[in-house]
């Protein structure tokens, strides 16, 4: 009986993690696209890639998942440049982009 509850709780944790990850990824994707539009850049591949995942504390001391997403963009249609978005829980913490030419 106890192992059944453990399996059920483990499955529920995996489902929560998957939904939380998809929500954070979607938010990072939208932020990257918006920043590229704002700067007249082309957002490449229409995706972000999670390159880091670890626990971290927010300003209130609460432990949340810190995810770092990478995306690529171009300023001239030829060169690929990288950007990163750091999410703490579901909230963006920072967005950084390689230097690019202003249009």
Helix boundaries (H) for the chain: 2-38
**Structural domain includes residue 41:** yes
Q: For the chain, which residues score pLDDT lower than 50?
A: none
Per-residue pLDDT, 103: 66
Dist CA 39 CA 32 (whole Å): 11
**Structural domain includes residue 8:** yes
> How distant, in Å, are the alpha carbons of 42, 51, 71, 85 from that of 20?
27, 16, 19, 16
Per-residue pLDDT, 28: 98
Which pTM was predicted? 0.89
User: Domain range holding 71?
Assistant: 2-97
Domains contained in the chain, number: 1
**Structural domain includes residue 51:** yes
**Structural domain includes residue 103:** no
What token pair was written down for 8?
């059920």
Per-residue pLDDT, 101: 80
Dist CA 32 CA 94 (whole Å): 11
Per-residue pLDDT, 102: 78
**Structural domain includes residue 102:** no
**Structural domain includes residue 71:** yes
């Amino acid at each position: 009986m106890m192992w059944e509850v453990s399996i059920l709780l483990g499955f529920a944790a995996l489902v929560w993690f998957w939904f939380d990850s998809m929500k954070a990824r979607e938010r990072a994707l939208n932020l990257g696209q918006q920043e590229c539009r704002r700067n007249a850049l082309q957002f490449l591949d229409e995706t972000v890639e999670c390159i880091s995942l670890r626990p971290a504390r927010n300003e209130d001391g609460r432990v949340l998942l810190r995810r770092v997403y990478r995306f690529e963009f171009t300023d001239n249609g030829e060169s690929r440049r990288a950007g990163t978005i750091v999410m703490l829980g579901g909230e963006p913490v920072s967005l950084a982009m390689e230097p690019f030419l202003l249009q």
